[in-house]
Amino acid sequence: MKRYLGNLDKPEERVNRALEAYQSLTKLREVKPGEGLPYKYEPPHLPGWKDMMIGGAIPGLKPNQRNPYFTGGTAKHYRPVINFDKCIKCSLCWEYCPDSVFDVTPDGYFNPALAYCKGCGICAEVCPVPDTIIMVDEMEFEDGYGKFLDEYRAWKENREAYRKWFESLLPKAQVISVRKR
Amino acid sequence: MSVSALETKRLEAVLKGDEEVEVVGTGTDAVAYALMLADVDVTSAYPIRPYGGVMQTVARLIADGYMKAEYIVAAHEHDQFEIVKHASAVGARTFVGSSGVGWLLAIEAIVAISTDRYPVVALIGNRALDDPGAYGVEHNDALMVRDVGWLLVWVDTAQEALDTTLIAYRVAEDPRVMLPVGISMDGAFLTHSEHVFKIPPKKKVQQFLPPYDLGNRKLHPSNVISVAPQVNEDWVTEIRKQMDEAMKNARKVIEEAYRDFAKIFGRDYGNPFVEPYMVEDADVVMVGMGTVSKPIKEAVRRLRAKGERVGFLRIRWFRPFPTEDIIRYLSGVKVVAVVDRDYSFGSPFDGGAVFTEIRSALYETDHRPLMMNFIGGLGGREITYNDAINMFNMALEAARKSKVEQRVIWYGVRE
């Protein structure tokens, strides 16, 4: 592979990219029976023609209403991690989030309900404070489907541990607020 | 161009007064006056003859302050029909129209209007499809949408055009229907010919036509809904079935609308779906749509005077198809001769579209008539009184012999 890539233009960059891709794949592992999260298939409710709105119209989600059919949080490749120490409570993430993922905490912070997050990264893009919202590869985390980490609570419980954890994620972040990638 | 002093007086009379006024105008003028009375909110226009006359009259009525509507000049017909679809979705009463190939350029939007269930009313100034180029009438343009949920109606006078436009809004916007209506008008013969007709007072129109109400389907920030979603096989059958029901409901709604129309305006069209003309005890009945009724009725009168038992049945509503009326009027007749101003190449017996549908409806009757089909008047060629007499003579000959020698006749085709 190295020999092949070495004959093309920008050989170093190509080799590095290939290595990066390979390493991200080696993180994948086989999930053994019984190991995953409990999941029971429930066929979707299909209404009859008399019960449907005409013309295929569908009642939409009200502002600030979350999609009740999407609670697994499985769509995202990256998740937002919030540095609450730096947050200025401007509410832009809450305002812009297309899936109304952010819960307002009693002291005015914005805590992402990761089960509803699609990983779009708009929150990190609009956050005006450097290094405050970062988008990190989902592969970095062990929690998932249905039971996600509560970032705000983790921060409240142990600020020092949260700060260290956040700093360990910072070099791996794909999108970092204010900073260019 | 502004309206004359005389017209000003007349328009003010219908907008403010209680009496109808008589005017002279073309078929498309009549539709424009109906739009003024129906308080259409949005109209999108793109020029093509022979529909285009209605654009000009509407523009003039808006410019002179007789009508308040958004007049949007579209980039092309597809754009034109998309504009009214969206306007209708947010609660605007809309009008649109086209002719021939222009109508077909918009076909994607046209289908979406009916499948999304928006009660748009369109004028189709019937025109032959290119190629070869022709400005004259042929019904294939409107018939192209006969299977996709548009109500289709053919008119034969300016008065009927005006009245049918008002009825079209009432039927289309009925919650039991919520489907678009295409009003077909023979290019040149009706769109561009001048008639005397009466414009009813707006007060009566308001009694007849309730305001447009989309209910819970109105797109508005306070009513959050999604429309036109991708639903695939899970939902499509059900949504088509809803349209099937709506189209069947339309028959009842049309009847109610004509009944109320007669009550409020005093003009009674009798049977809403078909116009029977001297069909009682007739041995031969000619059937047609649109202005071909004029020479045929004249021929019927003269042949009746000579003692021939002939009649004519004009189809007004082609969708929903007047199956019961077709059976009632044509069962037991000796020969039914259908004049098709259209073609349907390769259809059963290689006849026209109207012929094929009538034949299908009559399959259920106990006394099936012999059937003939005249394909004629294509590309705007005139069907004259003499032509009608010739057609009747051929049909009477078949009635006497109890045998149809040639089922489909391309009438007047040069050998």
Domain extents in chain B: 5-265, 274-410
Nearest to B311 by CA among B386, B395, B377, B384: B395
Q: State the pairing for strand pair B121-126/B94-98.
A: parallel
Strand ranges inside B174-263, DSSP E:
181-186, 194-199, 225-226
Rounded to a whole number of angstroms, the distance from the CA of B246 to the nearest CA of chain A is 10
A46, A54, A61 ranked by CB distance to B242: nearest: A54
Q: C-alpha angle with apex B153: B80 to B112, nearest 5 degrees?
A: 35
Q: How many CA atoms within 13 Å lie on the side-chain side of B74?
A: 25
Q: State the pairing for strand pair B151-154/B317-319.
A: antiparallel
Q: How many CB pairs under 8 A join A and B?
A: 59
Which one of B235, B236, B244, B247 makes the best mutation probe of the A interface by having the most chain A beta carbons within 10 Å?
B235
- Residue B404: per-residue pLDDT: 96
Token couple for B376:
């004629």
Q: Which residue has the tokens 């509407």?
A: B58
Residue A113's CB is within 10 A of a number of other CB atoms, namely 18
* Beta-carbon separation of A48 and B226 below 8 A: no
Q: Quick one: DSSP state of residue A101?
A: -
Whether chain B has a CB inside 8 Å of the CB on A98: the answer is: no
Residues 6+ apart with CB under 8 A from B265: B20, B163, B200, B204, B208
The CATH T-level fold of domain B274-410 is Rossmann fold (3.40.50)
- Cβ–Cβ under 8 Å, residues A77 and A137: yes
Q: Which amino acid is at A19?
A: L
Whether chain A has a CB inside 8 Å of the CB on B63: the answer is: no
Give the integer Cα–Cα distance in Å for B82 and B46: 12
Q: C-alpha angle with apex B357: B353 to B360, nearest 5 degrees?
A: 140
* Beta-carbon separation of A52 and B242 below 8 A: yes
Interface pTM, i.e. ipTM: 0.86
Range of lowest pLDDT (A63-77, A90-104, B71-85): A63-77
Nearest to A136 by CA among A81, A83, A57, A56: A81
- Chain B CB contacts of A56 below 8 Å: 115-116, 227-229, 231, 235, 239
Which one of A53, A64, A65, A100 makes the best mutation probe of the B interface by having the most chain B beta carbons within 10 Å?
A53
Give B30-56 pLDDT, tens digit per residue: 999 999 999 999 999 999 999 999 999
Which one of B227, B231, B244 makes the best mutation probe of the A interface by having the most chain A beta carbons within 10 Å?
B227
- Residue B239: per-residue pLDDT: 96
Mean pLDDT over the full length of chain A: 88
* Beta-carbon separation of A53 and B224 below 8 A: no
Q: Which amino acid is at B68?
A: K
CA B346 remoteness from chain centre: 25
- Cβ–Cβ under 8 Å, residues B21 and B199: yes
Q: Is the peptide bond preceding residue B320 cis, with omega within 30 degrees of 0?
A: yes
A44, A54, A58 ranked by CB distance to B226: nearest: A58
Q: C-alpha angle with apex B353: B98 to B356, nearest 5 degrees?
A: 160
The DSSP code sequence of B102-166 is: HHHHTHHHHHHHHHTT---EEEEEE-PPSSSP--S--THHHHTTTTTT-EEEE--SHHHHHHHHH
Token couple for B104:
């077909």
Residues 6+ apart with CB under 8 A from B25: B33, B57, B158, B194, B195, B197
- Chain B CB contacts of A61 below 8 Å: 224
Give the integer Cα–Cα distance in Å for A76 and A116: 10
Give the integer Cα–Cα distance in Å for B393 and B387: 10
Q: What is the CATH number of domain B5-265?
A: 3.40.50.970
Give the integer Cα–Cα distance in Å for A123 and A120: 8
Residue B103's CB is within 10 A of a number of other CB atoms, namely 27
Interface of B with A in 213-252 (CB under 8 A): 216-217, 224-229, 231, 234-235, 237-239, 241-242, 245-246
The DSSP code sequence of B31-61 is: HHHHHHHTT--EEEE---TTTTHHHHHHHHH
* Beta-carbon separation of B225 and A56 below 8 A: no
Same CATH fold, B274-410 and B5-265?
A: yes
**Which phi and psi angles does B304 have, rounded to 5°?**
-60, -40
Q: Which helix (H) or strand (E) holds B302?
A: helix B293-305
Using the CB atoms, write b or e for B71-84: b if 16+ within 10 Å: bbebeebbbbbbbb
In chain A, the residue whose alpha carbon lies closest to the alpha carbon of B232 is A56
* Beta-carbon separation of A54 and B217 below 8 A: yes
Task: Tell me the pLDDT of chain B (415 aa) as tens digits.
Answer: 456 777 888 899 999 999 999 999 999 999 999 999 999 999 999 999 999 999 999 999 999 999 999 999 999 999 999 999 999 999 999 999 999 999 999 999 999 999 999 999 999 999 999 999 999 999 999 999 999 999 999 999 999 999 999 999 999 999 999 999 999 999 999 999 999 999 999 999 999 999 999 999 999 988 999 999 999 999 999 999 999 999 999 999 999 999 999 999 999 999 999 999 999 999 999 999 999 999 999 999 999 999 999 999 999 999 999 999 999 999 999 999 999 999 999 999 999 999 999 999 999 898 999 999 999 999 999 999 999 999 999 999 999 999 999 999 999 999 9
- Residue B32: per-residue pLDDT: 97
Residue B46's CB is within 10 A of a number of other CB atoms, namely 24
